[in-house]
Amino acid sequence: MNNLKIQSYTIDRTDFEKRNQHRGFALWFVGLSGSGKSTLANGLQAKLFENGFNAVVLDGDNTRLGINKDLGFSEKDRIENIRRVAEISKLFVETGHIVINAFISPFESNRIQARDIISDTDFIEVYINSSVSACEKRDVKGLYKKARTGEIIDFTGISSPFEAPIKPDIVVKTDEQTPDESIDYLFEQLKTKL
């Protein structure tokens, strides 16, 4: 029998947010490989830090080297990858952090699951919108080339579908802006939410 229950702690979310002088929430960066998710997540974290905000980045590569290293890229494993990350994000949000999640998150159903775990009021979907051709041009890992030659199967945007967000909270068009312009734009969009 499962005897688990949510623990009550002396310091709660409102205490963290009061000390931090900002609320906790999760940004969910959605986009193709090479769209700029990790670059913008890193840059936005630095800008938030410079301005006195507590922010943490959870990135697809980094989580797959640690907490999700036992997962592959099957549909089942991709779903579990997003579920675990959403649960971790929720823990950070509850301690007053801004969590910047940078994950391809190709399916609307995965993003809905993440929103449900974190909560609708704490989840901000950010579509890092870039064309496949622009992503291929800046493909530092050579993944698109491998996908085009069949070395990688089920590659999002080539041999596996990508469902663009239906109603993202913020859209950043990285094939129309420099990384610095995109980071500044994101920061301005977030000011009202902080």
CB 85 within 8 A of CB 63: yes
Query: Is 131 an annotated catalytic residue?
Result: no
Q: Per the residue annotation, which of 38, 105, 130, 182 is the catalytic one?
A: 105
Gap between the Cα atoms of 78 and 107, Å rounded: 10
Query: How crowded is residue 50: how many other Cβ atoms within 10 Å of its Cβ?
Result: 9
Of 128, 129, 106, 105, residue with least CA distance to 118: 105
Gap between the Cα atoms of 97 and 36, Å rounded: 22
What DSSP string runs through 29-87? EE--TTSSHHHHHHHHHHHHHHTT--EEEEEHHHHHTTTTTT--SSHHHHHHHHHHHHH
Q: Could you give the residue numbers annotated as active site?
A: 105
